[in-house]
Amino acid sequence: MKYFKALIIFFLLAIGSNQLFAQTRAELERRKAQLNKDIEMINNTLKKTASSKKVTLQQLNALRAQIRLREEKIRTINSEVRLLDGQINENLNTVKSLQSQLKQLKVDYAAMIRFAQKNQGAYSKLMYIFAANDFNQAYKRMKYLQQFSEYRIKQANYIEETQNNLRGKIAVLNKNKQEKDHLLTDQQKEKNKLGNEQANQAKVVKTLTSQEKKLKQNLAQKQRDAAKLDRAIREAIQREIAIAKKKAEDEARAAAAKAKAEGKEAPVAKSSSGSILSATPEAAKLSADFVSNRGRLPWPVSNGVITDGYGKRNVVGNVTSENNGWNIRTGANASVRAVFGGTVARVLEIAGKGVVMIRHGEFFTVYQNLKTISVSAGEKVSTKQSIGTVGADEEGVSEIHFELWKGMQAQNPSLWLAN
């Protein structure tokens, strides 16, 4: 019976472990599938620029994004291999334990068979019962013989069940080993591709470094366009602050007049830009809801890859670039969507690129490089609502520039958007 209890515990642990393994493996497979889609999208954009002999910063950004995605895919494969190694070791231990239990079950069963053979005659059983000292002992001996027969049948069933489970575990173990071999082959292929991409990146960096003066001129124009966008954003936020401040002052005067008429003390008015933007109950709730979704906000496009991230970075050589948001490469004519509910604060055009700015209480999101715009200033929008379609450059590459602000301060989108 103790072996049967051990088997039950074993199987329960194995079921729980297998469910966890399946869940984690499924998550890794989903991430790998998404990475494959992202890599394919970057490959397609690189193919578009491959026909041109001109080496551009966009091409370098795409290569860097491709390498980053490839490295993440290799890390994902490594995680799958480690997961399979753990499962293989666990299954090996299970197989060894089942083999040990099966061996002991067979030993016990053989002993029972030998005992049964020695006492298989009806006469021997009767003599065993009649040799009892009293009726109570005779009854117990009779029950013992009955239970012994039943236990022998159960023991045979335990042996058969253990053999079936052992065969099943061995089959799973072999499947795990085959999956690991496939993953290791895939991993080596990805490493080879990564090596080729890194070599290609080195060539592009070398070419751009030799054209440093021209690259600086191109970046200077981009920075001027970025400065125009920055000024437009700040002006729009200042306008929203002014409107909110005037509304708050009007409400404060009305509240003071009412308090004076009722002989009460007038309430203290809020003064900071953040509190002014969240002065009304609706704006305060919107701000709080926005904050509660930190790290879980959807992307402005359903499928895309970051080619230029937030902050200041070195491009090549002594050339640096600064970004107040993200540049996200996506599919042609992709729908651009609001990352959260709010009100359209401004719709404008900067350097020939459509821009939509949405207010979410004291927060603002900005969407630049829209080919078409389907919303207007003052319109309320909901989370994931389409606000237009993404535009493309002269090489047919589709990218959206996205920024997120809290009052007058630009925020890193990676802290707010879902990873």
Quick: pLDDT tens for 349-383: 887 889 999 999 999 999 999 999 999 999 999 99
**Whole-prediction pTM:** 0.70
Confidence of residue 300 (pLDDT cuts 50, 70, 90): very high
Q: Return d(Cα 37, Cα 72) in angstroms, integer.
A: 13
Catalogue all structural domains in the chain, each as residue range(s) with its CATH number: 2-210 (no CATH), 215-415 (2.70.70.10)
> Residue 140 above 80 pLDDT?
no
Q: Which residue intervals of 51-134 are DSSP H helices?
A: 57-118, 122-130
Concatenate the DSSP letters of all residues of 370-399 into one string: EEEE---TT-EE-TT-EEEEE-B-TT--BE
Query: What average pLDDT does the structure give for the chain?
Result: 79
Model confidence at 104, pLDDT cuts 50, 70, 90, reads confident
pLDDT, residue 274, reads 55
Could you give the 3-state DSSP secondary structure of residue 105? Answer: helix
The three-class DSSP label of residue 340 is: coil
Average pLDDT over residues 44-57: 70
Give the span between the Cα atoms of 1 and 12, in whole angstroms. 17
Q: How confident is the model at residue 96 (pLDDT cuts 50, 70, 90)?
A: confident
DSSP secondary structure letters along 182-236 = HHHHHHHHHHHHHHHHHHHHHHHHHHHHHTHHHHHHHHHHHHHHHHHHHHHHHHH
Q: How confident is the model at residue 289 (pLDDT cuts 50, 70, 90)?
A: very high
Report the range out of 5-19, 197-211, 224-238, 348-362 with the highest average pLDDT.
Answer: 348-362
316-357 confidence digits (pLDDT tens): 767 777 889 999 999 889 999 999 999 999 999 887 889 999
* pLDDT of 418 higher than 70: yes
Give the alpha-carbon dihedral of 153, 156, 161, 165, to 10 degrees.
170
**Residue 154 pLDDT greater than 70, yes or no:** no
**CA pair distance 279, 285, nearest whole angstrom:** 10
Mean pLDDT of 148-153: 60
